[in-house]
Amino acid sequence: MRIISGEAHGRILFAPAGNQTRPTSDKIRGSLFNILNGRVENAEVLDLFGGTGALALEALSRGAARAVIADSSRTAIDAIRRNAGNVLKDALNERALILKMDYRSAIVAVGDRRFDLVFLDPPYRMTDVYGDAIDRLDRAGMLTKGALIVCERSRDSVIAVPECFEISDSRSYGETAIDFVYRRRET
């Protein structure tokens, strides 16, 4: 795996050994960021299931302002820290906050921040986490107006989002699907 584009283009990303982490492939990440296009520049990014950190680090390479990356796994956090150091170099402490904690604790820990772009890529079996995480972020006032939540899931699974949100688009890539979630427009 590598950073696909931006200031860190081509830098290698490392994944933890074993099957605990399922990194987003370069192909899917490339397609996703082509869709996101102009939404990344200067964005405040939150990745609640960091894994390797690839999604948030790709965003930072492409001009996102800052990112918070959380994961509850020690091996994942070690990989995220290694990858963030490789991608961000001396700007690591200014641009990335890496938290070893589950998504619920991470939301509480950074509750004073607001995010434009959120990545949710939990283990695929955890389908109830998507709606819960979105609801917690919303109740904490952590989503900017127009915030986009990107949910990566198994193509065969169905996720539910809180009533005031909607899945505006879905894309499938083999066994993986990406849902783009926004707050419903008030009428």
CATH fold label, 26-183: Rossmann fold (3.40.50)
At 124 the pLDDT is 83
| Encoded tokens for 162 | 């809180």
At 16 the pLDDT is 81
Give the separation between CA 184 and CA 178, rounded to whole angstroms: 18
Domain coordinates in residue numbering, the chain? 26-183
Provide the 10 A C-beta neighbour count for residue 132.
Answer: 15
**In whole angstroms, what separates CA 2 from the centre of its chain?**
16
Q: 75: burial class by Cβ within 10 Å (0-12, 13-18, 19+)?
A: middle
Q: What is the pLDDT of residues 67-84, one digit of tens each?
A: 999 999 999 999 999 999
At 20 the pLDDT is 66
Average pLDDT, the chain: 93
